[in-house]
Structure 1
Amino acid sequence: MPLETQLIEPSVALLVGLTSAVASLAIVLTGRWHGKHTHDCAEGVQKFHTHPTPRIGGLALMTALCMAWWLMRDRHVELLGSMVIASLPAFLAGFLEDLTKKVGVRERLLATMLSGVAAWYLTGYSLTRIDVPGVDLLLAFSLVSVAFTAFAVGGVANAVNIIDGFNGLSGGVLLICFAVLSSIAWSAGDVHLSKLSLLFMLSVGGFMLLNFPFGKLFMGDGGAYLMGFLLGWTAVMLPARNPDVSPWAPVAVCAYPLIETIFSMLRRLWNREHPGLPDTEHLHSLVKTRLVRRYFAHLAPSLRNALVSPFCWALAVLFALPATLLYRDTAALMLAVAAMFVGYAALHAALLRMPAGEPGSAS
């Protein structure tokens, strides 16, 4: 099969997914030796798990990505390598937070933005248009374009970290977003980017075997910022490499985590709260306290935790699907994103009005 029309060789796909799964399992099995530094405690207003759990799943994800880089033998390897290298500031900042709990929100955000700048330097891509009059004129200046791109990528990475609250939640959303980006890239004729998106999916998929449904391993900040950065940079490259793809298509694809983040920021500004403080009013938190605790109290605590994720996955799919059909139509995508904001706000308000279920002794 010609290189331009093939995706991933089965042997490569198997090895990347297997590397992620085996590395994840190794972290879990060796927890007795590193748990003092890597286990997530079960206390805190945002904690819904009941046992100390390793939160360094990002290490398994990075291992799988390096395996993918090593296995690639075609012209795609250079771009993958550039993305892995550029991801290091974001990954290391998150990983250090997982180990020390001493890396602040601002420092982690700056690290993800630094990864964005590094990715621009290594790949040459940046956001030069968002199809908004006036703004596109500013983005014609390289400095503005790079700064805007770095901020946008940092925002996506932070958004993935924010939704990393329940077993399988962020991993499932990443799988959905990468799948849709891969589909759009394929439709646009960009087999290269479609292939990279599938490799990222395989890396996440192996980790998910240990993360969902029983939560034996958490993605942690390192994993969330790593995969969030890769998601953000894939979203940047999609319209940059394919002029017929609207820059609003990746916005729609990533709408669920992005809208969650924007609403969280607005809520904290309204309540005059520090952005680094824990937040119990994320949509996934409300799904747990208003729906799962009330209607699924008969299930084991670990299953109640995991049950939050399918609700949010469904929302992520609902938000991302329009982009697969409308990826060339900026006006329609803008309307779709606006409708998503309204729908999210209505759902959040409805959940907030519902009485909270009893937490019980172990939920």
Structure 2
Amino acid sequence: MILVRQISSYFGWHLLVLVVVSFCICAVIVLIKDRLPRLSGRVHDLNVVQTVHSRQTPRVGGLAIFGTLALSELFAPMSISEQYGKFVIAAGLLFMVGLFEDLGFHVSPRKRLLAAAGASLLVISYLGVWLPRADIPGLDAVINHWAVGIPLTVLVTAGIANGFNLIDGVNGLASMAAIISAVAMTIIADLAEFFVMGHLAIMLAAGILGFFVLNFPSGLIFLGDAGAYTLGFVLSWYGIAILLNAPEVSPWAILLVLFLPVADTLLAIYRRSRRNADAMAPDKLHMHQIVMRTLEICFLGRKRRKIANPLSTLVLAPFTIAPPICGVMYWDQKIMSFAAVVGFGFLFLISYAAMPRFIRWYCSTIRSDAMTNRSTK
């Protein structure tokens, strides 16, 4: 009850303002998209290998995400307002690079990743902090030295930023994952009595919610690179801030909070290395794409993508919701949170490997039944 009362203290008119502002920005973009085709990116984006959509849709939902992030400075606790302002400026670098890509000015994946690394270096320069620990024997003994801590922090934050971009392929998946991660961080910060981060995280969730309403299930607007990269970047740094200010919080619990984008990123790196493919090359083998094809081939039909797309987000809900719940449950238990990471990682890999096999079995069964029916006529 004490936890419920404390968390309820975060809710107020400022959250409603952030939700409404985010929704209004997105609604205006949707209304004017025909007059400003640039908001939907390039026409040939519909033909790229990783796309799962069939019509041009505004890709600048990041304007709502970053707009409410900047607006939240007005509601941030005074004790961290200056530092928070510097952090938003650093995030703005990554946002702008992503926005150029969303507007149709080609920015390569490597340049976007470099922008994420540069934004993290700005945060480190402004605030003089980096990832304080990883709960990995040997690494924690040297992570406080800048030569180890800074490169590792840049790698982690840029990787998570890219991870949210990778899972942003079907309606609502990335934004739902970000909302759940932000709420989970709010609860963990509250349990650790780091109330400042609780305020910041719940405001981030409010800003995403206004966008989510128009993104799921209808897909009227997308996060785009600016939105997805910014969300991953901000959430990764929120996790680092919690670890810096709450020594009892396990890094494995924070990893659970961000499980889906991290798991999908690591799987993509492994998958591409096995094929000797460019690590930055897009493909159609992400978990959400496999799920959607399974739904289309085995259950809905190939012409029912409008249903298969948002349904994929619901099918992936266990991997979106369950790990952050465990992260909250085991927020201060290193062994249990580590075991949960291993367990969910195993389930993720098994599920990923099982779906193509299920499709092959299903298709062979259908063909066998069809041949049997023909032979009996």
1:13 to 12, 15, 24: 15
Q: Secondary structure at the match of 2:34?
A: helix
Which of 121, 124, 131 lines up with 1:127 in the alignment?
131
Is residue 315 from structure 1 mapped to residue 319 from structure 2 by the alignment? yes
Residues 1:209 and 2:213 are matched in the alignment: yes
Shift of the 115–180 alpha-carbon distance from structure 1 to 2, 3 Å rule, reads same
Task: Calculate the TM-score normalised by the size of structure 2.
Answer: 0.88
Structure 1 residue ranges without an equivalent (≥5): 359-363
Question: Would the aligned equivalents of 2:38 and 2:104 in 1 still touch at CA under 8 Å?
Answer: no
- What is the aligned partner in structure 2 of residue 24 from structure 1? 26
Secondary structure at 1:199 match in 2:
helix
Which stretch shifts more, 159-168 or 36-45?
36-45
Counterpart in 1 of 2:36? 34
Q: Give the Cα–Cα distance (whole angstroms) in 1 for the partners of residues 296 and 176 of structure 2.
A: 18
Aligned-CA RMSD value: 2.1
Alignment of 1:1-363 (within 5 A): 7-8=9-10, 10-36=12-38, 38-39=40-41, 41-72=45-76, 74-297=78-301, 301-355=305-359
C-alpha spacing 1:177/1:352, structure 2 compared with 1 (3 Å): same
**What amino acid maps onto 2:147 in structure 1?**
L
Please give the per-residue CA displacement for 1:245-287, whole angstroms capped at 9, x wherever unaligned: 1122111211111011001111001001112322111110011
The secondary structure found in structure 1 opposite 2:220 is coil
Q: Deviations over 1:100-152 (max 9, x none)?
A: 35211111111111111222233333112112222112212123212211111
Partner of 1:361: none
| 1:344 Cα deviation from its structure 2 partner | 0.9
Change (3 A) 1:65 1:298: same
**Cα 1:339–1:134, aligned 2, differ >3 Å: closer, same or farther?**
same
Q: What is the CA distance between 1:339 and its match in structure 2?
A: 1.6
Separation of aligned partners in 1, 2:178 and 2:359: 31
Q: Matched residue of 1:32: which SS?
A: coil
| Count of residues in correspondence between the two structures | 355
* Distance in 2 of aligned mates of 1:299 and 1:194: 44
Rg: which structure is higher? 2
Q: CA deviation at 1:190?
A: 1.0
- In the alignment, the residues of structure 2 paired with residue 202 and residue 286 of structure 1 have an alpha-carbon distance, to the nearest angstrom, of 30
Q: Give the AA of the match of 2:90.
A: A
C-alpha distance in structure 1 between counterparts of 2:62 and 2:121, whole Å: 21
For residue 215 of structure 2, what is the amino acid of its counterpart?
Answer: N
> Amino acid of the residue matched to residue 132 of structure 1?
I
Q: Which runs of 5+ in 2 are unaligned?
A: 1-5, 364-377
Q: How far did 1:82 drift?
A: 2.7
> What SS is found at the alignment partner of 2:276?
coil
Counterpart code for 1:29: L
Deviation, 1:209, is 1.4
Distance 1:7 1:74 in 2: 17
Cα deviation, residue 24, structure 1 = 0.6
When residues 331 and 21 of structure 1 are mapped into structure 2, their CA distance, relative to the original with a 3 A threshold, is: same
Instruction: Supply the distance in 2 between the matched residues of 1:47 and 1:205 (Cα, whole angstroms).
Output: 24
Give the direction of change, closer, same or farther, for the CA distance of 1:9–1:325 in structure 2 (3 Å limit). closer
- Aligned residues of 1:129 and 1:139 also touching (Cα < 8 A): yes
1:326–1:37 CA distance, 2 compared to 1 (3 A): closer
Deviation at 1:300, TM superposition (A): 5.2
- Identity of paired residues, percent? 27
